[in-house]
Amino acid sequence: MKKILLGLLAIVVTLVSCTDHEEIEIAYQTNMSITASHLFDIYSTVVGDEFNMKGTNNGNWNINLHAFIYDNNGNLVKSVEEQYPSLTSTLNFNLDLLPGKYSVVAIAEFSGTLAGHNYKFWNISNTEKLNDLSIVESDTICNSPFETLGITSSEFEIGDRMENILIDIRPVTGLLQVIIWDDDFSGIGKDGFSIYAPDVENLTIYAPDLKQVVKFNGVNPTYDYGDQATRYPIQIHSPKSQFEKKGPKQSLGYRALLPQENRDFYWELQCVKGAGQKYFLNGKDWQMSDLTDNKLNIQPGKQYVMDLLLDGTFLYVQDYNPEVDMFERLQSIQGFINKKNIKKALDERYDKYVGMSKNTIETYLDQESWYTTETTTNYWGTGLISSITARFTDSTMTKANRIMLMWAISSQAELDVVTEVLSEMYTPWDEDSTENIKQFINSTTLEEVTVMISWDLHNGCLYFDAIN
């Protein structure tokens, strides 16, 4: 019996010894829930239903939720992906991971159909390692807010107790709202459409370059250029098609853009053959604009708005202000265009023509007089200036003592803008100004004045007169 007891004791000691030296790792249950239900909460709509995924003219969309879990060395240890028909859906799963430090990259992107075409905006690849993970924008153009890309990435730790981790994915793209105005703002169009609309076959808005790739530095997203780094189409439009089918005069679209500093834009248009001679000084059927005067600093979750006024062949971009509706914004842009065009006309500095000879003036104007009297010559103006008249001291026409500009404007707002621009260029001379005649001098002091500028708002005439 004693030998038996000693044998049992040896077995117990052996078992205890084995337990003391082996570490048994336990995976504590950790639940992760991922949602993108608030992806559009910070954005505003124009029509009201643009963010509805089903049941509207905006297409039929699904949201794709992805979760990639990486260990402390950046190796993929778990991935879960599901597609849902509703933005309010939640991706739930259990991690079943051992205690330790991990990283999660949660991604929300959309796929679906619009006007009979299938679209998927973002392609995820190289998921096996965090530093290789890549999200690349498709080169397909679809003007939809569902181009929005959401990413939330962070580090987390699994300990020795049960946990629930909730991730609410937010956008990393900024949302650009695009409105093309085919309206007749000049009063000389047809059927309410711009004078250009019947003859402009194609109108495309471009960005010189855009970032299209998401990479990761640790868990932090970084943004870079893709294969299509230049001449990136933002929206394609046909005013001619809209005019012919009597469609809407305003065309609304959206683009989701990755973060980027100082982003500007431009447009190109193609007229029907020969129409360019009617509309443009160079007579060409193909036209390209300058870059937008202002630039956007695109940031995650911010909203921007782009307006293209066909009647003014003018493109303007700015931060979106939900307190200002589209028609108030339009009025403000029209005011900006008026001032820009008026300033461009006055930048010629016609006060310098005072004292010049007829030949010198014609060299500057690059044209000959179309009508001449004994002491005056008349020239065609450009843009908002319909005609230019030079008056000389005598018939030799060697010294001009007056330059008169006749303006092709009529609204009080335009007339007031001329006053505003003159006030910025010259020194107001209030002593002799009246309600209808505003006067300025071409110097800051009266002693140095050589030209008096008189702006006749009633008749739309601007005079530059020599001071003897």
The residue with greater pLDDT, 410 or 464, is 464
Average pLDDT over residues 79-87: 97
Pairing of the two strands 163-168 and 30-35? parallel
- Please answer whether residues 239 and 270 qualify as being in contact, where contact means their C-beta atoms are separated by less than 8 angstroms: no
Position 230 confidence tier, pLDDT thresholds 50, 70, 90: confident
Tokens of 382: 């450009």
Q: What DSSP designation does 165 have?
A: E
**Considering only CA atoms, which of 90, 53, 76 is closest in space to residue 167?**
90
* Listed range (97-101, 133-137, 180-184) with the worst mean pLDDT: 97-101
**246-250 contact pairs (CB < 8 A, 24+):** 246/191, 249/181, 249/182, 249/183, 249/192, 249/193, 250/179, 250/180, 250/181, 250/182, 250/183, 250/326
Q: What DSSP designation does 59 have?
A: B
Domains in the chain with CATH codes:
30-168 (2.60.40), 174-323 (2.60.40), 350-466 (no CATH)
Q: CB burial class (10 A; 0-12, 13-18, 19+) of residue 376?
A: middle
Residues, the chain: 468
- Please answer whether residues 312 and 293 qualify as being in contact, where contact means their C-beta atoms are separated by less than 8 angstroms: no
Position 27 confidence tier, pLDDT thresholds 50, 70, 90: low
Q: Is the pLDDT of residue 186 over 90?
A: no
pLDDT at residue 371 in the model: 95
> Alpha-carbon distance 244 to 242, whole Å?
6
Mean confidence (pLDDT) of the chain: 91
Give exposure, 130-152, as e/b (b: 16+ Cβ within 10 Å): beebebbbeeebbbbbbbbbbbb
pLDDT at residue 8 in the model: 33
pLDDT at residue 382 in the model: 87
Average pLDDT over residues 420-440: 93
Position 16 confidence tier, pLDDT thresholds 50, 70, 90: very low
pLDDT at residue 2 in the model: 36
Tokens of 16: 């205890």
* Beta partners for residue 33, in sequence order: 92, 166
Position 411 confidence tier, pLDDT thresholds 50, 70, 90: confident
* Beta partners for residue 202, in sequence order: 270
The alpha carbon of residue 74 and the mean position of all alpha carbons in its chain are separated, in whole angstroms, by: 36
* Beta partners for residue 125, in sequence order: 134
* Tokens 């140095």, residue located: 448
Tokens of 117: 């075409």
Q: CB burial class (10 A; 0-12, 13-18, 19+) of residue 332?
A: middle
Task: For residue range 324-381, list pLDDT tens digits in order.
Answer: 999 999 999 998 998 999 999 999 999 999 999 999 999 999 999 999 999 999 999 9
